[in-house]
Amino acid sequence: MQAHTFFLYLLIILLTARLFAELAVRLKSPSVIGELFAGIVIGPSILGWIEPVEALKLMAEIGIILLLFEVGLSTDIKRLIRSGTKSTVVAIIGFIAPLFFGFSIAYWLFELSLLISLFIGGTLTATSIGITVRVLSDLKLANSHQGQIVLGAAVLDDVLGVMLLALLYEFSVGGGVNWINALKVLVFVSSFFVFAPILAKLMSVVIKRFHADSEIPGLIPTTIVSLVLFFAWLAHAVGAPELLGGFAAGLALSRRFFLPLGVTLRKDENFAKAIEEQMQPIISLFTPIFFVVVGLSINLREIDWASSHVWIFSSVLLVAAIAGKLIGSLFINENLASRIMIGMSMVPRGEVGLIFAELGRFSGIFDNETHAGMVIVIVLTTIIPPFTMKWFYRHYSHLLVESK
Amino acid sequence: MQAHTFFLYLLIILLTARLFAELAVRLKSPSVIGELFAGIVIGPSILGWIEPVEALKLMAEIGIILLLFEVGLSTDIKRLIRSGTKSTVVAIIGFIAPLFFGFSIAYWLFELSLLISLFIGGTLTATSIGITVRVLSDLKLANSHQGQIVLGAAVLDDVLGVMLLALLYEFSVGGGVNWINALKVLVFVSSFFVFAPILAKLMSVVIKRFHADSEIPGLIPTTIVSLVLFFAWLAHAVGAPELLGGFAAGLALSRRFFLPLGVTLRKDENFAKAIEEQMQPIISLFTPIFFVVVGLSINLREIDWASSHVWIFSSVLLVAAIAGKLIGSLFINENLASRIMIGMSMVPRGEVGLIFAELGRFSGIFDNETHAGMVIVIVLTTIIPPFTMKWFYRHYSHLLVESK
């Protein structure tokens, strides 16, 4: 690909993302909807200007891990741990319910095969951390009590979703499932979440030390981005999604992170501030690319809109997908408004769902019609909640007080 | 290419670039040498860890145009115009002399064909703006009187180099040369340099207007990067090298740029400061990628070091390449120290030279040995001047006073 063509692609992506985001905000919707819509408009669905070429996809991946880094950076780990039990409940029920609903509908109602039905259930399991967090931030709820529960739950069910994907993939190629392997991945991922922030914190101390010494400008952007990339790579190496590495790195560098076991490192507000200030423009540059590329990778033209089967199939699964996530919040001790808000926040599916659908189509498990139906469901779970959440927040924000 | 592999590549590039840059500075050399060397070490020449895959090359291209944007941003257009005549002299003589020397040596001394000899001469013509500017910045000379002359000359001879490349390419495929086409390109490129900064300035006014209005953060990084990408694309569209588009955009947004014809726009120091502050981290992130990728694209192993022909061939051409650039500064009215400094600054070849060499090999004009010889010459013209300039500056900086 020629550099000047790539420049054109990138600038169209950045500008349309901005334009539609501004429009979305003026129409009282979250800006992320505008960015997704920009991708749908300039992508194969409508105008067909831009193909999601490899370099764009890779920059989009950097965008999502940087967004998760930013989320980690502004997360208060104490509050995250405090909301741990509630997050776990929301995550596990919000994982099992859509899996069970999706599987049951496919297997018993539409009489699809066991493997296809399991893949359909799997596609509905994982909440999109990226979209959920963006919507919560747009509503200034990311640091709220409910936001912390949702964040913890979204992180957890992403891990569960990826593990299920690994299991189903093994099952689909080999016919059997290696539970010891699955357990090993779980142990790795859990220890990653314990040790990665500590390691990242120690590395940031080294960077701070150099920061005081170096005569060449630009230390923070290159080393902090490297740190984030390293943890994304490490997350993948232990079997977790890359974006969780970005989250772990952000958590470690947040002002509110402290090393366990009483190890104290001299806090340096200036350094923390320099990181936030210098990373902000980089994050703002890369993040929209991710959401536009998600829009680009959806081709609404591939869907046979005249087929009533597609409509029924996706409508039923959409209800299952939404109900499956709303149920989780019923099992925690919160007032009704908080439960509804938490449940709605968990509805958007994204990255992991699309990976499920892609793998399903690629390995021949999904035919075109099933794949299209699943993509419609994922898109709608992503488009609907920002509107309902925004509406709900406008009317009931006074009820979202913290209950302990 | 898998995202996690790409993350690993990128973080190795960023970290080794930093490491070798810090080492270079401690060894009293410019940091850019460290970055080039990092590319040689991790690339096919030594360790072979990293291949310059497409996504890396594209990010490197963004790096070089952003660097030129930064150069433009800190350029005083009045001083650039004031040094215009001297720049033109240095550029034209520094273009003709290496072309003539290179051609003569190849044609008469090594008895190569007309086309090969012209390509060899062409490879030696264009100064690398990127490397030259980095070395001058490292010596804090980028904004000096000499720096402005060199900058103007480097911009001009890049244009000349690219035009020659276009002519030679036509000649090599068709046998003839279309002078009208060449003239058209020259007219386009010249008008680009007159109108692009004005257009960019007007666009920045629109961005500033939005900046005051927008509720979504991150307007400056996305729109200013888009602006730079647009002018890079536009530069290519009129037949100029992309990086000159970055330079034109930077020039327009610099605090010292004023619209002609008495059109006044309200100056806003805060907006200019916000642009500089927010673009700095992005530029610092992308720029090292360019220099590392230049190092990566050189394979020292391909060179048959035992062949005395390669040594003689490249030594003679190296002398021609250095002498050809030093001569230019003899024709301008400066003191001897300034002339030597300007001459040395013009020596580094880079992007355009490598493009010549690549096209020569690709189209079968250069055999492997000739290509290797040319690459050695380009590498050495890049590696030597920073050392000699630094040494010269340490001993004679007091002589580099402005003469009018």
| Contacts of the segment A167-173: beta carbons below 8 A, 24+ positions apart | A168/A115, A168/A118, A168/A119, A168/A122, A169/A359, A169/A363, A171/A115, A171/A118, A172/A115, A172/A119, A172/A363, A172/A365, A173/A363
Mean pLDDT of chain A: 82
Nearest to B62 by CA among B10, B8, B126: B10
DSSP state of A110: S
Residue B141 phi/psi, 5-degree rounding, is -110, 0
Nearest to A133 by CA among A2, A17, A283: A283
User: Which of chain A's residues have a Cβ under 8 Å away from the Cβ of B242?
Assistant: 3-4, 7
pLDDT (tens digit per residue) in A270-297: 788 888 899 999 999 998 998 898 788 7
User: Which of chain B's residues have a Cβ under 8 Å away from the Cβ of A35?
Assistant: none
User: Which of chain B's residues have a Cβ under 8 Å away from the Cβ of A220?
Assistant: 281
pLDDT of A403 reads 46
pLDDT of A101 reads 93
State the average pLDDT over residues A239-264.
Answer: 70
pLDDT of A103 reads 92
- Structure-model confidence comparison of residues A141 and B13, the more confident one: B13
pLDDT at B266 > cutoff 80: no
Q: How confident is the model at residue B273 (pLDDT cuts 50, 70, 90)?
A: confident
Nearest CA in chain B to A229: B7
pLDDT of A401 reads 66
User: Which of chain A's residues have a Cβ under 8 Å away from the Cβ of B25?
Assistant: 215-216
pLDDT (tens digit per residue) in A117-168: 988 998 898 888 777 887 888 778 878 888 888 888 888 887 777 777 767 7
As given in the structure block, the two tokens for residue B380 are 């050495």
How far apart, in whole angstroms, are the C-alpha atoms of residue B275 and residue A95?
44
pLDDT of B230 reads 92
Residue linked to tokens 């189903």: A168
Contact B225 A285 (CB under 8 A): yes
DSSP state of A300: G
CA A328, distance to chain mean position in Å, is: 18
pLDDT of B390 reads 83
pLDDT of B6 reads 94
As given in the structure block, the two tokens for residue A259 are 């090393």
How far apart, in whole angstroms, are the C-alpha atoms of residue A169 and residue A184?
16
Scanning B216-235 for CB atoms below 8 A from A yields: 216-223, 225-226, 229-230, 232-233
DSSP state of A401: -
pLDDT at A173 > cutoff 70: no
pLDDT (tens digit per residue) in B334-382: 888 888 888 888 898 866 677 777 777 777 888 777 877 887 888 788 8
Pick the most confident of A103-112, A374-383, B280-289.
B280-289
As given in the structure block, the two tokens for residue B179 are 């002078």
Q: How confident is the model at residue B173 (pLDDT cuts 50, 70, 90)?
A: low
* H or E element at residue A264: none
- Structure-model confidence comparison of residues A232 and A173, the more confident one: A232
Contact A279 B281 (CB under 8 A): yes
Contact A7 B55 (CB under 8 A): no
Q: How confident is the model at residue B42 (pLDDT cuts 50, 70, 90)?
A: very high
As given in the structure block, the two tokens for residue A347 are 């509805």
Nearest to A8 by CA among B229, B288, B88: B229
pLDDT of B98 reads 92
The answer to whether A8 faces chain B, any CB pair under 8 Å, is yes
How far apart, in whole angstroms, are the C-alpha atoms of residue A333 and residue B1?
45
How far apart, in whole angstroms, are the C-alpha atoms of residue B109 and residue A222?
48
- CATH of the domain spanning B56-289+304-399: 1.20.1530.20
Who's near A81: CB < 8 A, 6+ residues apart? none
Contact A11 B233 (CB under 8 A): yes
Contact B219 A61 (CB under 8 A): no
Contact A7 B62 (CB under 8 A): yes
Scanning A198-217 for CB atoms below 8 A from B yields: 210, 214-217
Q: How many CB pairs under 8 A join A and B?
A: 166
Task: Considering only the beta carbons, identify the residue of A61, A226, A282 that sits closest to B15.
Answer: A226
- Structure-model confidence comparison of residues B184 and A60, the more confident one: A60
How far apart, in whole angstroms, are the C-alpha atoms of residue A238 and residue B4?
12
**Contact, B388 vs B344, CB < 8 A?**
yes
pLDDT of A404 reads 42
pLDDT at A73 > cutoff 60: yes
- CATH of the domain spanning A60-289+303-399: 1.20.1530.20
* pLDDT above 90: percentage of residues in chain B: 19
Q: How many residues does chain B have?
A: 404
Distance of residue A30 Cα from the nearest chain B Cα, in angstroms = 10
pLDDT at B1 > cutoff 60: yes
Who's near B118: CB < 8 A, 6+ residues apart? B103, B168, B171
Scanning B26-55 for CB atoms below 8 A from A yields: 31, 54-55
Mean pLDDT of chain B: 82
pLDDT of A225 reads 94
Domain spans of chain A, in order of start: 60-289+303-399
* pLDDT above 70: percentage of residues in chain A: 90
pLDDT at B7 > cutoff 80: yes
Q: Is A218 left (phi over 0), alpha (psi -120 to 50) or beta?
A: left
Q: How confident is the model at residue A175 (pLDDT cuts 50, 70, 90)?
A: low
pLDDT of B177 reads 65
State the average pLDDT over residues B235-258.
Answer: 77
Q: What single string gives the DSSP state of each residue in B323-334?
A: HHHHHHGGGSS-
pLDDT of B222 reads 92
Contact B3 A58 (CB under 8 A): yes
Who's near B205: CB < 8 A, 6+ residues apart? B265
User: Which of chain A's residues have a Cβ under 8 Å away from the Cβ of B232?
Assistant: 3-4, 7
* pLDDT above 90: percentage of residues in chain A: 19
pLDDT at A79 > cutoff 90: no
pLDDT (tens digit per residue) in A177-197: 667 767 777 777 777 777 877
